[in-house]
Amino acid sequence: MRRILIIIPLLLCLANAAHAAHPSRDEQHFVATLQLGATPQVRYLDANGKPIDYAAFAQQMHEGRRHYSITRDTQAGMAMLRLRPAGARAGEPGRFAFGRGDAFPPFELPSLHGTAQRLSDFHGRYTLVSFFFAECAPCIAEVPTLNAYAREHGDMNFVSITYENADTARQFVQERGLTWNVLYHGQSLMDTLGIGIFPTLMLLDPSGRVAGSAVGMSMQDDPAKRLADLDSWIEQWKRAATTQTTNGKPTQQ
C-alpha cells in the first residue's frame, strides 16, 4: 500500500509536467489566434486576478459566458488574459489584484512620442507608472507633484497611461503641463490589472515586477507635503522590494 501511495502522487506530478510542456490541442489552437509568434508565453487569470491554467480559464469562460481582457506584447510573444466579472464589459474591471513581487502584464501601447512602447523598454531601472484620465480631478491635482518628483529622480523611468485616445491625452498634457511620457489606448491593460479607481500609482522594479502601489490616492496638502509623501512611499516600496528579492522570495504569478 505504501508503494501505491508513493507512486500515485509521482504519476500525477508527471502528468501535470507533461501537460505544462505539451499544451492541449484546444489551447494550442486558442493561442494561435493570439498571433504571438512561434514561442508564445501566455498566462491566464480568473476574474479575481488569480493565476489559473488554460483548462480552468476555458471552463469558466464558457460556463459563465464571460468575456476576457487581454494585454500582449507581440514582439516578445507574451500575453496575459483575465476573465471579466460576470456580466462585465470593457472598462468594468474586477478588483485590483497585483501586489508586490507580481510580474507586471506585458503590453505594447502607442506613445505621444510617436512610437509603440513595451514593458521591456522600461527594464533596468525603477519605473513609476501613473494611470489617469483627462477629467479626473485628483489626476489633475497630482500633476505638479508628479512633475516635481520626476525632476528630482533622473535615475528612474516615468510613464502615464490612459484609456483615452491620442487627442484627449495630448490635450491633457498641453493643458495640465504633465511632463511624463504618456501612453494611450490602455483600457485592456487597465482591465487586466483591475484598475477602476483613479489615479492609481504603481512602482515597477528594474525586472518589471510590482514593487508597490497606491490606489485612488488623494493629495490635498500643500505642494511640499505632497512631494514628501510621494517620496516616502516610493522609498518604502523600494526598500520592501529589495528586502523581498534579497530573501529570495519574490511572489510568482
Q: Are strands 78-83 and 41-45 parallel, antiparallel or unpaired?
A: parallel
pLDDT in the model for residue 250 = 46
C-alpha cell at 70: 487581454
pLDDT, one tens digit per residue, over 168-208 is 999 999 999 999 999 999 999 999 999 999 999 999 999 99
pLDDT, one tens digit per residue, over 106-137 is 999 999 999 999 999 999 999 999 999 999 99
pLDDT in the model for residue 183 = 98
CB burial class (10 A; 0-12, 13-18, 19+) of residue 151?
Answer: exposed
Domain boundaries, the chain: 26-246
Judged against a pLDDT cut of 90, whether residue 224 lies above it is answered with no
Q: CB within 8 A of 216, min separation 6: which ones? A: 138, 197, 198, 199, 200
pLDDT in the model for residue 80 = 98
pLDDT in the model for residue 210 = 97
Torsion-angle region of residue 52: left (phi > 0), alpha (psi -120 to 50) or beta? beta
- Give start and end residues of each alpha helix (H) in the chain: 2-21, 25-32, 54-63, 137-152, 166-176, 187-193, 223-246
pLDDT, one tens digit per residue, over 47-75 is 999 999 999 999 999 887 789 999 999 99
pLDDT in the model for residue 253 = 35
Confidence of residue 86 (pLDDT cuts 50, 70, 90): confident
Alpha-carbon 79 to chain mean position: 11
Judged against a pLDDT cut of 80, whether residue 146 lies above it is answered with yes
Domain 26-246 is found in CATH 3.40.30.10: yes
Confidence of residue 242 (pLDDT cuts 50, 70, 90): confident
Confidence of residue 220 (pLDDT cuts 50, 70, 90): low
Bigger pLDDT: 20 vs 94: 94
Report DSSP letters for 156-205, one per residue: SEEEEEESS-HHHHHHHHHHH---SEEE---HHHHHHHT--SSSEEEEE-
